[in-house]
Each structure stands twice: as C-alpha cells, then as structure tokens.
C-alpha cells in the first residue's frame, strides 16, 4: 500500500505530508522558545538594579556567528534549488558549505565562547560591604550621580586563593602549568577543614578605573583583566556569590546557557541531518530526485527556524 502525498502535494492544501509535519513540529518549537524568551524578559524586568549583568558576552564573536548562520540559510536554499534543477554537483557544493557553517558555529560556541566564561571570575559583594570597595573598584557614588545602576560585583582573573587549612593560613597561587581556575578554587573550598580567608583578583578595566566614563555603559568589545589587584575578604562576599561565569553565577547566565545550549542542540541536529543527506542522499536522488528535493526542503525549513531563533538570541543577550 502506497501512502499518498509523500512526494506530490495535495491539491487542496499545496502541501505534501512531510512539509505539513515539519510545520506542525515548528509550531511546537515556537511555543517552546517563545516561553523561554518570555521568561527571560520577565526575569530581567524584575531584577534589582545592578544585579543583572551587562556586557559579559563577546559581541564581535556573536556577530560573526550570526553572519555564519544567515549565510548557511542562503546556501541550504541554493542546495534545494540545485536539486530542483537536477544539478547534483551544485547540491553537494552548497550542502557542504551549509554543513561547514553549522559546524563552525558550534565550534566557536563550544571551543571558544563558553570556555572563556568558565575561567573568568566574579565576586558579588554584600550590600553592607560595597562602601568598603567603592572608591577603588566599584565607583557607585560616581554612577549614582549619573543615574546609572550600581556595580555589585568585582570581576577579573583569580590569581590567588587565601585559605585556612586546619587553622593554618596559606595562599594557593596561579602558577604556569598549575593554573588556579575557578573550578579548582571551588574544589579546594569544598574540602573539609578548609576556610576561605580572601580572594585576590587582577580586576577587569571597569573595576580598575571605576570612575572612567568610558566604562559607564557596557562595552561591545571585551577587555582583558588588568594588573590591578583586588583583595576581597571572605566576610564581604555574598553567600554563594563567587564563581566563574557559570549558570549558577546569576539568573542572566542561567537563562543564557539554557537557551543557547538548547539552540546549539538544534544546530547539531540540523548538521547531522544535512550530513546524512550529503553522504547518503545519492541513492534516493537517482530513484526519485523530487523526493530528495523534498527532504532537503523540509530539513531546510527546520534550519531556517533555528536561524530565526538565533536572530532573537543575538540582540536579547548580546546587545540589550
């Protein structure tokens, strides 16, 4: 028994089965990402002034990834058009470019952008302790005079952890070949009979020069940590308020990793489907080229949706 409309479209709807199925699936995806974006907006609107991080993401890298995804949407359409014109070699070329673009996007995200956050360090201060660090690192008097949100944390490169182990004070320093990463510091502090005394950071430029007007707003181009040192005592640190830029650092980063991680899984799924069609599509093409074109069209519709989600992710997380 042959299932009708697997290749040709229904005359009343103009859709074949797979195309109708992908549109129904994409409708559920709209509900999923729509709910996540709505939750993000409400969480941001309800955040206290100064407690919603800004300027943490690398805008030039995000812009590059946006261009890569948009280009891949063009090439997947060209791959489909090549099949409709029965040009198999052109299809292979455009599909290969699409796969490379998707793989590049994931590589940048997983090998550069995310790991960079895992090594950067931030310490959120108790409200009653902010005055102590204001002149040197926060500059909140300056910011209040300009009507800007206060700074509530000091960020930079963690180079020394001061602890007491069994009552004896010691310093664990960042050394070549033996880096003191935030993860390493957290493991040390979780050991029995270990008590935090202080963190020592080489602070980021906004904390190094807190009254400089060029740092009053979030910068699009990331800056490296300076050599200016901040010694932040344990008694001044908000409970659980010291970590790398991980999901537990803040609601902002929690939603960032959730949404970009889910989006990344969709990109990976699309790349896997395209790879399968690239290597194993020839047999179907020789048997029924229109069926092969339909498969590429359906997977391309999914890919366009993935790109559309990123068009929302980029401005919401990176620019606003």
Domains, the chain, ranges and CATH? 18-119+252-319 (1.20.120.80), 121-242 (no CATH)
pLDDT reading at 1 higher than 60: no
Q: What percent of the chain has pLDDT over 90?
A: 78
pLDDT reading at 209 higher than 60: yes
pLDDT tens column, 75-93 = 999 999 999 999 999 999 9
Q: Which of 19-33, 122-136, 171-185 has the lowest mean pLDDT?
A: 171-185
Residues 19, 301: contact at Cβ < 8 Å? Answer: yes
- As a whole number, mean pLDDT of residues 287-298 equals 94
For the chain, the distance separating the N- and C-terminal CA atoms, rounded to the nearest angstrom, is 55
- The two three-digit tokens of residue 87, written as one number: 């040009």
- The two three-digit tokens of residue 62, written as one number: 């995000």
Residues 270, 264: contact at Cβ < 8 Å? Answer: no
- The two three-digit tokens of residue 64, written as one number: 């590059």
Q: What pTM did the predictor assign? A: 0.90
pLDDT at 316: 93
pLDDT at 229: 96
Other Cβ atoms closer than 10 A to 122: 24
pLDDT at 34: 96
pLDDT tens column, 152-207 = 999 999 999 999 999 899 999 988 777 788 999 999 999 999 999 999 999 999 99
- The two three-digit tokens of residue 266, written as one number: 């969709």
Q: Which of 18-32, 151-165, 218-232, 292-306 has the lowest mean pLDDT?
A: 218-232
Residues 212, 243: contact at Cβ < 8 Å? Answer: no
pLDDT tier, 9 (very low <50, low <70, confident <90, very high otherwise) = low
């Amino acid at each position: 028994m042959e299932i009708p409309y697997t290749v040709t479209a229904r005359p009343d709807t103009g859709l074949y089965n797979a195309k109708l199925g992908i549109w129904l699936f994409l409708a559920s995806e709209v509900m999923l990402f729509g709910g996540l974006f709505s939750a993000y907006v409400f969480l941001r609107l309800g955040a206290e002034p100064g407690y919603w991080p800004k300027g943490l993401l690398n805008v030039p890298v995000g812009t590059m990834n946006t261009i890569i995804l948009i280009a891949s949407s063009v090439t997947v359409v060209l791959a489909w058009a090549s099949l409709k014109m029965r040009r198999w070699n052109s299809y292979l070329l455009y599909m290969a470019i699409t796969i490379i673009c998707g793989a590049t996007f994931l590589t940048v995200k997983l090998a550069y952008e995310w790991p960079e956050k895992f090594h950067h360090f931030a310490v959120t201060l108790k409200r009653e302790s902010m005055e102590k660090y204001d002149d040197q690192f926060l500059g909140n008097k300056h910011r209040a005079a300009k009507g800007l949100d206060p700074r509530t944390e000091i960020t930079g490169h963690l180079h020394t952890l001061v602890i007491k182990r069994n009552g004896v004070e010691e310093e664990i320093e960042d050394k070549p070949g033996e880096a003191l990463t935030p993860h390493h510091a957290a493991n040390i502090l979780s050991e029995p009979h270990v008590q935090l005394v202080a963190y020592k950071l080489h602070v980021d430029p906004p904390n190094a020069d807190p009254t400089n007007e060029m740092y009053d707003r979030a910068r699009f181009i990331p800056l490296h940590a300076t050599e200016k040192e901040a010694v932040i005592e344990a008694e001044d640190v908000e409970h659980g308020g010291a970590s790398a830029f991980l999901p537990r650092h803040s609601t902002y980063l929690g939603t960032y990793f959730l949404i970009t991680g889910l989006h990344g899984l969709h990109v990976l799924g699309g790349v896997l489907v395209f790879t399968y069609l690239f290597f194993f599509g020839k047999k179907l093409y020789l048997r029924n080229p229109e069926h092969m074109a339909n498969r590429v069209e359906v997977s391309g519709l999914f890919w366009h949706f993935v790109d559309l989600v990123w068009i929302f992710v980029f401005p919401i997380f990176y620019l606003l």
